[in-house]
Structure 1
């Protein structure tokens, strides 16, 4: 019995040393600029930017292959943050090619209509939909990124996108550009 424990302990130590060596020897260095760009992106993995996810889009921006205004879920705040980080001029979202920014949205499933087909679960890139085959599904609101990828595969159209109510966690000060537009709207409405 003691011999078996010692043999397993020795084997574990050898494998630990091999894994430690491999981690050092084959370490892949990542570009810190790509990591910073990726941290700004909303991590919806929606593909509206034309790339397979946020990380490939960040790599394309860093390489100069993509513009900073291709991410609708990131909105104006994301574009401004990317422009500040990279020292580029702010360019508004390219809505014609990539869609419009609608604010923070989440999917809601009408559980009375849901047939439990699991197609929305398979389409969700962040696993925000909970359910099983032939059982109703529901969305974990805190996990949903609002990418809208679950809507198209639904055969019974039981998924809607609804805006997240603004509370203290989502509220932000309006930018100076937004304030100028708001003031102009008020002056034309009263005049």
Structure 2
């Protein structure tokens, strides 16, 4: 009888130790999210425009990770589709024209002398780039504006214009070079190089 109590007690203690170890490991090594979703979301332009059919870039990134087409983001354009195809190791496909067309980067500009302060544009802005108060003039914080165009339609006096951003020497960059394959002389092994 004593042996049975010792065996049972040993098993109970062992079960508590294993349970505690598993509980600690589940907290210590918890994964906060799907890392591929985060990588996809980093490639998307973060305009939160909804042209892809999703309410923002993060939900679209989750849909892409679950197999949705990579070609539904007009603001990301061809470069975005190419980067997504590289990341996911899938074929590059043309932009789905039913979602819209790729435009140059734009920002909203409020003609302040016509603004009536209705706050409808503030409510529509997904990134809080419009500031102002009720019955007072509003303005757009240009560096925060993603050019999503969602503030234009709700404006009752049509005082918001979408203006293309000019490329200046401050924001221009060289295009990313294409990898080229070169054969090494001594062993005839193809090597990827960047020129």
* Band the TM-score falls in, shorter-chain normalisation: 0.7 to 0.9
Partners of 1:143 and 1:29 in 2: how far apart?
A: 27
Which among 78, 84, 87 is matched to residue 76 of structure 1?
Answer: 78
Partners of 1:127 and 1:106 in 2: how far apart?
A: 13
Number of positions where the alignment pairs a residue of Structure 1 with one of Structure 2: 153
Partners of 1:173 and 1:93 in 2: how far apart?
A: 23
Q: Which has the larger radius of gyration?
A: 2
Residue 114 of structure 1: aligned partner: 115
1:174 shift after superposition: 5.4
Partners of 2:37 and 2:145 in 1: how far apart?
A: 24
Unaligned runs of 5+ in 1: 1-20, 177-191
Indicate how the Cα distance of structure 1 residues 169 and 86 shifts in structure 2: closer, same or farther if over 3 A, else same: farther
**Which has the larger share of helix?**
1
Unaligned runs of 5+ in 2: 1-23, 178-195
User: What secondary structure does 1:107 align onto?
Assistant: strand
Which among 45, 49, 56 is matched to residue 46 of structure 1?
Answer: 49
Normalising by structure 2, report the TM-score.
Answer: 0.73
| Contact 1:109–1:159 under 8 Å retained in 2 | yes
Normalising by structure 1, report the TM-score.
Answer: 0.74
Quick check: 1:31 aligned with 2:39?
no
